Amino acid sequence: MNLLVTAMSLVLLDAAPGEEQYAAHVFKSREGAKMPYRLLKPANQDQSKKYPIVLILHGWGERGTDNKAQLKMFGAAFLKAKAREKFPCFVLLPQADGSWIRNPKFEKPISLTAKPNSNLQLAVDILDSLLKSERVDINRIYLMGYSNGACGVWELLERVPRRWAAAIPMAGAGDPAHAAAAKGVPIWAFHGANDSTIPLERMSELMAALRAVHASPLYTIVPKGQHYDAKGKALADPSLLPWLFAQRRGKSAVPFDKIASPSAKRPTSLDEANDPNKTSNKRNGKVAGSKKAN
């Protein structure tokens, strides 16, 4: 598909501090489909280098066309001075006017459809356009998403796993029948133990599917946590960005212990979940893949 990118005038009447650093744009396809998005660029770009990019898919509550709501949850995390200095990167925040996935119902496992819905496809199209126009390292394309957006992350992992260097889905769901496709992608998933919107069982099914093909993603279960607690826990974790940016496409996952401080609380891995002697398994009181979620 031939695509056009049209800049949108930047108007921030009630912007949060630093929000103006995310330039506002509207992506337009030749067929006329449009999607607003925000883009943060690395500070002081070196024209001899290429930089990673993080594609972030927002939750259901941030859907719309104002090109602002999607910044509420994730924008500040990448504007911190230490993050800007230590992890220079592009951050892409598209805004969907509805769901990122087809049939967002979570009473049972999601079934991967033959094709992605138009919103998810447009997000990928925006990413592809930036790969052509910006100095992006194609081996360091990262996924991050919350709730409905985390479901979009799982779908992208299942559809085109070889594109991504790592992924952080927060309170999401996917198709366990296709999760094995993502076995080579470093994944750190977050979920609230008492999530009543997308039950913990949905993540457990994905973890079990990956375990069956000998993958070992990381996961963090928030004790007594509700749906929104997964996002808060993830974004507050000081090891999140160091772990994320350490990963490279097509390479073995860089272990958590290699990048985190000695005092960091280690996420649970599938290997630990399968070993009843591990203390983390006892502490969480849950095993990935268990049939009962709550």
- Domain of 54: which CATH number? 3.40.50.1820
Judge contact between 168 and 191, C-beta under 8 A.
Answer: no
Query: Which has the minimum average pLDDT: 72-76, 188-192, 205-209?
Result: 72-76
Residue 292 lies in a domain: no
Domain range spanning residue 36? 3-284
Domain count, the chain: 1
Those residues whose C-beta lies under 8 Å from the C-beta of residue 284, and which sit 6 or more positions away, are 221, 223, 268
Across 286-290, average pLDDT: 37
Residue 289 lies in a domain: no
Residue 102 lies in a domain: yes
Residue 293 lies in a domain: no
In which band, very low, low, confident or very high, does the pLDDT at 266 lie, cut at 50, 70 and 90? confident
Residue 202 lies in a domain: yes
Q: Give pLDDT, residue 223.
A: 93
Helix pair angle (148-159, 118-133), 10° resolution: 70
Distances (CA, A) of 136 to 41, 42, 52: 10, 10, 6
In which band, very low, low, confident or very high, does the pLDDT at 31 lie, cut at 50, 70 and 90? confident
Decide: residue 232, CB within 10 A, 0-12 exposed, 13-18 middle, 19+ buried: middle
Judge contact between 168 and 240, C-beta under 8 A.
Answer: yes
pLDDT of 129 strictly over 60: yes
Q: Give pLDDT, residue 7.
A: 32
Average pLDDT, the chain: 87
Residue 82: what are its φ and ψ, rounded to 5°? -65, -40
Residue 290 lies in a domain: no
Residue 136 lies in a domain: yes
Residue 274 lies in a domain: yes
pLDDT of 277 strictly over 70: no
What does the alpha-carbon distance between residue 170 and residue 145 come to, in Å, rounded to a whole number?
6
In the block, tokens 């006329």 appear at: 32
